[in-house]
Amino acid sequence: MLLSMEHLRKEYPNGKIAVDDFNLEVDKGEFIAFIGTSGSGKTTTMRMINRMLNQTSGTIKIDGKDISKMDPVKLRRSIGYVIQNTGLMPHMTIQENIEIVPKLLGWSKEKRAEQAHKMIELAQLPDDMLQRYPGELSGGQQQRIGVVRALAADQRIILMDEPFGALDPITRESLQDLVKHLQEDLGKTFIFVTHDMDEALHLATRVVIMSHGKQVQVDTPENILRHPANEFVTNLIGEERLIRAQPNILTVSQIMLKTPVSITPDKTLDDAIDLMHDRRVDTLLVTDDNGVLEGFVDLDDINRITDGTTLISRFTNRKVFYVQANSLIGDTVDRILKQGVKNVPVVDAKKHLVGIVTRTALVDIVYDALRGAPEANEEPASPINADIHAAANHEGGDTAQ
Amino acid sequence: MTHFLATYGWQLVAKTGQHLYISAAALALGVIVAVPLGILLTRMKHGANFVITLAGVLQTIPAMALLAMMIPIFGIGSTPAIVALFIYSLLPILRNTYLGMQGVSPTVRDAAKGMGMTWWQMMVRAEIPLAAPVIMAGIRLSATYVIAWATLASYIGAGGLGDFIFNGLNLYRSDLILGGSIPVILLALLIDYLLGKVERAVTPRPLR
């Protein structure tokens, strides 16, 4: 474990508790985003990692070593630090800025210069910019330097405090790509404080949601979108974002009907008609005794046969289109719609029938994703939507209700 | 003019030398005390206002009175003059140092500390270079004050160009009065010009 924080607590002399019982284990190469409202303790927690603040109680360990027993100056030199508004030294050239920590560590002049050239390349900026001053660069360029400066002495952990908050959206995105690259390709570990949920979800491998000094939820972006821990998290993420994310986080099993009407091949045509009549469906899925999907029969096939004792296996359609229960809606919905089938059976890994997806359910998902209307699941929100529902119901029938 | 120089030439050089010595000594003491004190004040939560107000109060004591007050303590000669002028030089340097250090952006300070600079390194590599132009402006202002007031030092036997002026006043000799005051003015202008050069030199290039 690269970094571990146990029972961290920060209490100010005036009695205000900024951080309360914070626990987190961070592995090498992780990208942790701290997010929360202002005053949630996210920046305070981050600043305790390089001892810009000292915790009231609890321990922080890096590589198993308690940082409170280290020299804070040495500790800080080993941890990258990026803040909003860059923190570049205005009276130093870009090269001198990049070389600050290497110089503090006593690197030779040649080694420092070599590193500066390497870093400016990493920042994807022209080499001659090294001789310029921060004031001559745009905000985005300055922060690129701010980011690579934090790696100039081969720091493994980089702390970032709302580094892109002051940048316009396009510049911000290109910087996000830069840090993502540093994390994924160079294996750097980032602790990133932000109040921008899109940024957190986009960059982080794990998101730490904080409120009033406490951790509310710690999980991957996918899991947080899928299972927000409570109303606070839902609000923080925003209904809009949750709905838009649905196709990419919902699995087929979450929208399928779990009671597909099925029949075994040894039954007869009469049995099939009875079952259809009882359950008010026009299609039956055919499974063997173990529940493995074999095919389907529908009303058209049954109509053409007059002998009621014919075995189901004789007229089963074996060309059946099905989907896996654990596949994502986003990946599946196009395929389902293109097939032009009314209903799609859902199977598990061993092809056991576990459910059925109707076109109605798909319409809801597509509609929600496009329009962002959460109530559409329950009832149509607009006349147009009502038409779609009606059409879907009409087309899909009551197959498996 | 030539007559004046022929008669008082060497005396003029000697008095100018004395004048410069008194001023430079007072200013040097002022810098040595006020710059570190000003920096220290920015590190203290309380007390800064008090100290700066105190320096302001000292500044309001009439120059003549302050010089006279030095006599019981230091006697006559250049020492009491240097001490009195030193007290005068404090306020501009102290105030500018304080303001200059306060003016260093907290972001820069936070970044410097966060990157692992020691207190001393933060001072020398980040804060003082950035505050230098403002500190230097204070020193420059003090220098012109001190040169001007050093003329009064002649009254307590410290010598300097004031000797010409006071002799001229006593003897009602305008050549002596002008012979003393014009060099003081020129001296003040020259020093101000030279310190202006220094101020520019200590200003980091991108901030000029």
Walk along chain A (401 residues) and give the pLDDT tens digit of each residue: 899 999 999 999 998 999 999 999 999 999 999 998 888 999 999 999 999 999 999 999 999 999 999 999 999 999 999 998 888 999 999 999 999 999 999 999 999 999 999 999 999 999 999 999 999 999 999 999 999 999 999 999 999 999 998 888 888 999 999 999 889 888 899 999 998 888 999 899 999 999 999 999 999 998 998 888 888 898 888 877 777 777 677 778 878 888 888 888 888 888 888 888 888 888 888 998 888 988 888 887 777 777 878 888 888 888 888 888 888 777 777 777 777 777 888 988 888 898 888 877 777 777 776 665 444 444 444 444 333 344 444 433 333 33
Beta strand pairing status for A189-194 and A79-83?
unpaired
Domains of chain B: 2-207 (1.10.3720.10)
Q: Do A77 and B115 make contact, defined as CB atoms within 8 angstroms?
A: yes
Task: Please report, for chain A, the start and end positions of each structural domain, with discontinuous segments joined by +.
Answer: 3-246, 253-396
Distance from CA of B127 to the nearest CA of A (A): 10
Interchain contact B126–A (C-beta under 8 A): yes
Helices B78-102 and B48-60 cross at an angle (nearest 10°) of 140
Q: Give the Cα-Cα-Cα angle B111, B113, B117 (nearest 5 degrees).
A: 120
Tell me if A74 and B116 make a contact (CB, 8 A cut-off). Answer: yes
Closest-CA residue of A relative to B121 is A104
Question: Does the pTM of the predicted model rise above 0.90?
Answer: no
Pick from B116, B126, B206: CB nearest A101:
B116
| Set of chain B residues whose Cβ sits within 8 Å of the Cβ of A75 | 116
pLDDT of residue B141: 93
Output the pLDDT for position B192. Answer: 93
Domain A253-396: homologous superfamily in CATH: CBS-domain (3.10.580.10)
Which of A52, A91, A93, A136 to mutate to probe the B interface, most B CBs <10 Å? Answer: A91
Mutation target among A89, A158, A159, A162 for the B interface, most CBs of B within 10 A: A89
User: Given 3.55.50.30, 3.30.70.20, 3.40.640.10, 3.40.50.300, which CATH number is that of A3-246?
Assistant: 3.40.50.300
User: In this complex, do B110 and A74 lie within 8 Å of one another by their Cβ atoms?
Assistant: no
Number of Cβ within 10 Å of residue A396's Cβ equals: 21
Q: What is this model's ipTM? A: 0.81
Q: What is the pLDDT along chain B (208 residues), one digit of tens a residue?
A: 778 888 888 888 899 999 999 999 999 999 999 999 999 998 887 888 888 888 888 888 888 888 888 888 988 888 889 999 999 899 899 999 999 999 999 999 999 999 999 999 999 999 999 999 999 999 999 999 999 999 988 888 888 898 899 999 999 988 889 988 999 999 999 999 999 999 999 888 887 7
Q: Which residues are within 8 A (CB) of A281 and not within 5 positions of it... i.e. 6 or more apart?
A: A261, A397, A398, A399, A400, A401
- How far apart CA A196 and CA A379 sit, in angstroms, is 32
- Considering only residues 41 to 100 of chain B, which have any Cβ-Cβ distance to chain A shorter than 8 Å? none
CB contact under 8 A, B130 and A91: yes
A270-290 burial, b at 16+ Cβ within 10 Å, e below that, comes to ebbeeebeeeebbbbbbbeee
Chain B residues inside the 8 Å CB shell of A134: 206
Shortest Cα distance from A74 to chain B (angstroms)?
A: 6
Sheet of A323-324: strand order equals: A323-324, A343-347, A353-358
Range 214-243 of A in CB contact (< 8 A) with B:
none
Q: Which residue of A has its CA nearest to B207?
A: A91
- B123 touching chain A per CB within 8 A: no
The tokens 């410097």 sit on which residue?
Answer: B112
Question: Is residue A104 less than 8 Å (CB to CB) from chain B?
Answer: yes
Beta carbons of B64 and B110 less than 8 angstroms apart: no
As beta bridge partners, residue A113 has none
Q: Which of residues 127-166 of B touch A (CB under 8 A)?
A: 129-130
A109, two tokens: 């002049």
How far is the C-alpha of A113 from the C-alpha of A118, rounded, in Å? 9
CB contact under 8 A, A83 and B126: no
| Closest C-alpha to B22, from B155, B138, B132 | B155
Distance, CA of B9 to CA of B12 (rounded, Å):
5
pLDDT of residue A282: 83
**Would the CB atoms of A81 and B115 count as touching at under 8 Å?**
yes
A1 touches chain B (CB under 8 A): no
Provide the residue type at A22 as one letter. Answer: F
